[in-house]
Chains A and B, each alone.
Chain A
Amino acid sequence: MTYLMEINNLGKRYDDFELSGVSLAVEPGCVAGFIGSNGAGKTTTIKAALGIIAADEGAVRLFGQPIACGSPELDAIKSRIGVVLDTCAFPDTCRVGDVGAIGRAAYREWDAVQFAALCDRFNLAPKKKVGELSRGMGMKLTLAFALSHNPELLVLDEATAGLDPIARDEVLDLLRDFMAEGDRGILMSTHITSDLEKIADEVVCVDAGRIVFTAPKDAITDEAGVARCRAADVTAILDAGFFAPGEARILRHDYGCDVLAPDRFAFARAFPDIPVDKATIEDYMTLILKGESR
């Protein structure tokens, strides 16, 4: 299969941070959620994948073609990618109409009608200056720009951050419309994991520059669960051998313990007296990253 984006063993060293062995892939028809705490390496990974920075090791393929920072292949491929970074990057003095003019000059496939329709849908008046837009409106403008050149891959870095819940839902609707054509894909880096529960097919988590887990979203939100235990229950669970050594993830707090159950149905059968809730992506990530390993 030709992936839209394929990152293998990506590494990048800074004085105070190292990204190492990062691998992820975005299949056609797939929305890959990219999560992790602040400074975990999400933006560095995205910048390396887009050739904004040069990787120290590893390989990036976009649409099957190997690319490197500054390579001619990359510059041709960039027209097939729509990018939304964490801020509305257009200069404050530009008007919404100017952003359309930049798109028309930059992209051969620029669809002015689509851009106008999206601006209209988002209430972005052509005469409005970028500097006058709220953060949410700015992100909508960037999204309209990213969607108006018929990209096959969308790369979103905290694109829904700062949007109110209604605006976020609008954006997610737009992303669903984008994905209606099956051969497209999205890499969506976000802290708002509830957005990923609505749209993602796969979740990749990075922490301290390394991939911690890659899992289908359904395996997290449908199969996995969080057992709400007392301290004595934890001992019983561990003694029962339900988890292989080192695979249990336990988060202790003032009123009890949470235990991650990768298969909550199996867990419920094994421990019918212990309540198990469905896991959210946030629960799963928190237990994996902060949970005690036993």
Chain B
Amino acid sequence: MKAMIVSDFAVLRSAILQLLGICAIIALFMGYAMGTLVGGAAAIAAMPPFMLLFSLAATDEQNGWERFRLTLPLTRRQVVFGRYASLALVAIGTIVFALALSFLLLGVISCMPAGTLPEGLTPAENPPAALVGSVVGAVGVITLGMAVTLPLVFRFGMTRATRFVPVVVVIAIACGIGFFDAGIQPTGVLADLVQWLDTGSNYLFLAAALVAVVALIYVASAFVAAKLYEKREF
């Protein structure tokens, strides 16, 4: 599995460096345009994991790398779990980077004279709990997306999987719209819970709960992908 992670990060190194720069620029522009750092932080947190997933999947299909990799002393399960571990590390790194960048910007903004920037960018409007919640939330949603995408990529390869992923996403969105349009609203204890979570001070709890749920789904997805990859031929 270590070999898989080493090879994944060797592949990603240049892409990661480029992405860090792009993310920093996007955070600045989106933060200014949206008038809030929380939104900018969420935006940059959502980008890297999914983009790097597709970079890795595309690289697998170049030069027969995926086939050659199976001649190394790696089991197919190690290949799958290694890829999931690489992307989990990317997700964690993204959270760290997005938060570090957000707090750095917040520090710079707080040193600037009042009135220079929109009020929505001030530390008072961007409490740490909200920043953490937005970053972890964005990475959590994207990790869910990866949990859906990766088994398809392992089973069909990147080229064919890209035909299926939009179908799955559209179905999920359609189901979501259907669910909420039906007017189903949380009631009773669930409504109280939603209201409690919706208060700013409880974003951290929400983020922690989201991480736990997403992690469970991600691990389950890894086992599904490993099963699908067992029978794949090259």
Contact = CB atoms under 8 A, between A and B. Distances in A.
A228 interface: no
A101 interface: yes
Contact of B72 (A78, A87, A91): A78
A143 B139 CA distance: 41
Contacts of A75: 73-75
A180 interface: no
Given A70-B230, A75-B73, A102 B63 contact: no
Interface in B182-214: none
A53 B64 contact: no
A91 B59 CA distance: 6
A91 B11 contact: yes
Contacts of B76: 70
Chain B contact patch, size range: 20 to 34
A81 B74 CA distance: 13
Main DSSP-derived SS at the B contact region:
helix
Nearest to B56: A91
Contacts of B12: 93
Contact of A54 (B7, B13, B65, B233): B233
Interface string A94-106: 1100100110111
A51 B75 CA distance: 11
B6 A101 contact: yes
B67 A52 contact: yes
Interface in A75-91: 75-76, 78-79, 81, 83, 85-91
Given A52-B234, A54-B233, A105-B6, A85 B62 contact: no
A93 B15 contact: yes
B70 interface: yes
Contact of A83 (B2, B7, B71): B71
Interface of B: 2-3, 5-7, 10-15, 59, 62-65, 67-76, 230, 233-234
Interface of A: 47, 50-54, 70, 72, 75-76, 78-79, 81, 83, 85-95, 98, 101-102, 104-107, 155
